[in-house]
Structure 1
Amino acid sequence: MSSSIPNYALYGEEAQPAWLDMVHFEMIHERSSLFKFEIDPHFHEGLIQLLYVTHGGGEAFIDGTNWQVHPQSLIVVPARHVHGFHFTHDIDGPVVTAAQSPLESLASVGAPDLLAHIRRPQVLSVGDAVRHVDALMPLFDAIQREARVHGSGEVAAGSALLMAVFVQIARISATLQSQEGPDTHGRSRKAAQVERFRALVDAHFRKRLGIEFYAAEMGLSAGQLSRLCRDALGMSSLDVLNARVVHEAKRELVYSTLGIKQIAAVLGFADEAYFGRFFKKQIGRTPTEFRDAARLRLTPEAKGRATVEP
């Protein structure tokens, strides 16, 4: 998939493989100050970012929508959502960058309702949900300790703590909705349409339906839907659909015990060979090559040798 929008692991650094286990912690000021507090639009292939603004503010730009950021704001940017920031010079607070696939796998088993919060970009004003404020910083502090200890089980502990943060996000979101009604927060019509398309893709991507189906569900032509995605995301609607299939395929290949034929069937492919051709066209490796390389990279021995730039 081609795109003119940069793909970074962390802003300004080369992207790591999307399946890489990672829970990285830093303060917002540390990285944004290197770029004069102006973070140009970019996306993360397989990484979710969570920012908790404790001081300062500015604007967040996510999928073509501008969000005002104030102290005690939570910003959720899932994988492949185009985003950028304009921060004030006094901006600060923790930012966690983590591999989204293992987080989704954990949520699928223990808390499926959290998947919607993990996959949807959000900017939430925690100050309007006061009863949940005190729970946040202790969780971020614990994630910071795990990220910097580099001990055994650090990724598992970090992921579990990040899940606890998303429990708080779900509670905060529910509180805000009860106070204000549906969570529109000034989103543009275009951004709402993009979110609707992503939701439809999440619900139906395993059926291998064509773009015409999604366009019809949204009351658009296939061409209008593709233009909408290019304007907001820098990629076609087919690229968005294929990226969702690839994301799920990678998650199954790395974190499940299903065989390639079974994964092909789960994802709606007519046969294993068709799935193999699709997967190799998208990422340049066969499913078996990808699984072997990913699992080798995730072994304790390999982790001990690897150096991942934070």
Structure 2
Amino acid sequence: MTTKTTPASVPVFKLYGEEQAWPTPDLLHCESIPARSRLHHWEIQPHRHADLFQLLYVQRGPALIEIEGQLREVREATIQVTPPLCVHGFRFSENTEGYVLSLGAPLVAQLEEQLGPLRVLTAPGCYPVGRDHRHLNTLFATLQREYDASQPSRDLMLHSLVNVLMVWISRRGQENLPPANRDERYGQYLSHFIRLVEAHYREHLTVETFAHRLGLSSVYLNNLCRRLTGQTALQIIHQRLLLEAKRNLVYTTMTISQLSDHLGFSDPAYFSRFFRRLTGISPQAFRQAAEQRSR
């Protein structure tokens, strides 16, 4: 499923294949899997969204899900969470059934005002539905029906249904978390830090600068990151840089020099040393290995 794109970047769409403005005045979009996939021969090539959170509900498979170059085959009812800027693609069979729910970032911000930080939406996650499949079938079918209709209090109904869905996903996302990760205050600091990293990782800011912007000391920020993620603040920053480097090595034809400049490194040799230190191989070797896997 892996496909090379232009040297600039992985394609960024509103909805898949659509570069124009958001197609509706709503802050969400709901459609069935067949509605869009049928138009693309049941294969959605790797792409990403700048400001959309997407929930893919596979009611009945099979489906092949690609997230950041990793493939996963789904044969049971499953919800796949895809945050903004996450490279993803799908391959469905003609009898695959389900829904794709896209949420605009402003809507997610509104939901967080009601529900608290939705950390389950900040990273890709695949959640088997299990015994809740009838409940979720009804929930998504109702969402689709309300979205397509123009009934009184439509916005209120849609937001209420999405709230219910967010509670379900958040509960599933927390099932395997240790108790310490559920501390809301620490979680808010971590979420804010990750948002800052996402916005500024190409600038190579120091941990002290990030901590200052959070109103924390660098020692406190490092301790918080270790407690909640098992990594230091600097490791989180470096992992974000590494992730973007891997994305572009796999999905674009940028040269090593172009990629080094794109990621804010002072020279390609420094970038190559950084990449080798974190992965054990050179950027070029990583790209060659990815090409061999895709073949």
TM over 0.5: yes
Measured in 1, the distance between the counterparts of 2:97 and 2:90 equals 13
Is 1:124–2:124 an aligned residue pair?
A: no
Secondary structure of residue in 2 paired with 1:80: coil
* Residue of 34, 45, 48 corresponding to 1:43: 48
Structure 2, unmatched stretches of 5+, are 1-6, 179-189, 208-230, 253-258, 265-295
1:55 aligned residue: 60
Distance, in Å, in 1 between the alignment partners of 2:109 and 2:247 is: 24
Alignment match, 1:201? 194
Alignment of 1:7-46 (within 5 A): 7-16=12-21, 21-46=26-51
Q: Which residue is 1:232 aligned to?
A: 247
CA shift at 1:53, angstroms? 0.7
Indicate the residue corresponding to 1:138 in structure 2. 138
Q: Which residues of structure 1 form unaligned runs of 5+?
A: 182-196, 242-310
Query: Does the Cα contact within 8 Å between 2:60 and 2:98 map onto a contact in 1?
Result: yes
Contact 1:15 1:44 in 2 (8 A): no
Counterparts in 2 of 1:43 and 1:228: CA distance versus 1, 3 Å: closer
What is the TM-score with the length of structure 1 in the denominator?
Answer: 0.57
1:8-67 deviations in Å (ceiling 9; x for gaps): 222122242599643222110121121112111111222221111111122211223222
Question: Is the aligned partner of 1:97 residue 2:102?
Answer: yes
- CA 1:140–1:120: 2 relative to 1, 3 Å: same
Cα distance, 1:237–1:51 mapped onto 2, change above 3 Å? farther
Letter matched to residue 243 of structure 2: L
Structure-2-length-normalised TM-score: 0.60
Specify the alignment match of 1:147 in structure 2: 147
Q: Which residue in the other structure is 2:233 paired with?
A: 217
2:76 is aligned with 1:83: no
What amino acid is aligned across from residue 231 of structure 1 in structure 2?
A: K
TM-superposition CA deviations, 1:238-274 (whole Å, max 9, x none) = 9899xxxxxxxxxxxxxxxxxxxxxxxxxxxxxxxxx
Q: Distance in 2 between matches of 1:165 and 1:85?
A: 22
Q: Counterpart of 2:116?
A: 112
Contact 1:24 1:97 in 2 (8 A): yes
Shift in Å, 1:164: 1.0
Separation in structure 1 between the aligned mates of residue 128 and residue 45 of structure 2, nearest angstrom: 23
Once superposed, what is the RMSD of the aligned Cα atoms? 4.0
| Alpha-carbon distance in structure 2 between the residues aligned to 1:153 and 1:239 | 46
Asked if the contact 2:81/2:125 (under 8 Å) is kept, the reply is yes
Answer whether contact 1:57 1:87 (CA < 8 A) is retained.
yes
For residue 116 of structure 1, report the CA deviation from its aligned partner.
Answer: 0.5
CA contact under 8 A between 1:50 and 1:74: conserved in structure 2? yes
1:67 aligns with 2:101: no
Per the alignment, in what secondary structure is the counterpart of residue 90 of structure 1? coil
What count of residue pairs does the alignment treat as equivalent?
217
CA contact (8 A) 1:67 1:123 kept: no
Superposed CA deviations along residues 99-118 of structure 1, whole A, max 9, x for unmatched, are: 132222222x22114x1012
Pair 147,17 (structure 1): closer, same or farther in 2 beyond 3 Å: closer
Aligned pair in 2 of structure 1 residues 230, 150: CA closer, same or farther (>3 Å)?
farther
Could you tell me which amino acid in structure 1 is paired with residue 96 of structure 2?
Answer: I
Rounded to whole Å, the distance in 1 between the matches of 2:135 and 2:11 is 34
Identity of paired residues, percent? 26
